[in-house]
Amino acid sequence: MTIVEEDYIKNIYYLEDEKKGLVTTNSIAETMNIKASSVSDMIQRLLTKGMVNYKKYQGVTLTPKGRQLALDLIKKHRLWETFLSVKLNFSWEEVHDLAEQLEHIQSEKLTNKLNNFLDYPMFDPHGEPIPGNYKERKTKKQWKLSKVKVAHEYIIESIKKPDKTFLEYLNKINLKIGSVIFVRNIETYNHSMEIELENQNYFLTKEITENIYVILKENHIKK
């Protein structure tokens, strides 16, 4: 598999997860910023390699083989992000771009040694679960911040869009994994949210709250 092929597999995996079904050529082209005709060529290649199932005019899904490859890539990506952050002190907005390159290193032995060296972490620096290490938590439901209720306290669990400028903005307001926020108000007009974080008030746009995941804090009603 080439690096480009692997990037396709990973993107199809995320899209399939998001749409809970068939992934269209157009949606792949859109997320990867590639012409639809190039995507069609690639789908043919992935088809012959047994990585995807293809339904004409409808779209693709990953085969079990494709899915396994996607999970391996995601695991490597998140382990490298953790390594860069924990062992080399990179900040959380720097690690994603580097991990995009490191995830393509082909060595199961290296992945296993890295995993062992990091002591089998369950989450990456953005709070995303690491496949194979993460054990499903049964007790607490994770919410998209855009879907929570006013006047409750929540704990930040993960960031879904780990791009640099977004994380830099979160740095500015000192919002991290594990931060506790109190939801003061949600604007009905545009769904922007007013939160309290470390005794400061901030406004978060819907674009921001759509990409942050939280759990309800134990004693969630603020006194």
- Specify burial of residue 216 (Cβ count, 10 A radius: 0-12, 13-18, 19+): middle
Q: Does 10 bind Zn ion (CB under 5 A)?
A: no
> What residue ranges in the chain does DSSP mark as E strands?
52-55, 59-62, 142-144, 152-159, 180-186, 193-197, 200-204, 212-221
Which residue, 9 or 60, is less far from Zn ion as judged by CB? 9
Taking alpha carbons only, the member of 184, 171, 172 closest to residue 125 is 171
d(CA 131, CA 121): 10
Nearest approach, Cβ of residue 128 and Zn ion (Å): 7
Span of 23-31, 162-170, 176-184, 205-213 interacting with Zn ion by CB under 5 A: 162-170
Taking alpha carbons only, the member of 129, 138, 147, 214 closest to residue 186 is 147
Span of 20-28, 40-48, 92-100, 196-204 interacting with Zn ion by CB under 5 A: 92-100
Query: Residue 15, Cα to own-chain centre: how many angstroms?
Result: 12
- Candidate residues 10, 75, 76, 96; the one interacting with Zn ion per rule CB under 5 A: 96
Nearest approach, Cβ of residue 77 and Zn ion (Å): 6
Number of residues that bind Zn ion (CB under 5 A): 2
Nearest approach, Cβ of residue 160 and Zn ion (Å): 10
Which residue, 54 or 90, is less far from Zn ion as judged by CB? 90
Q: What residues make contact with Zn ion under the rule CB under 5 A?
A: 96, 162
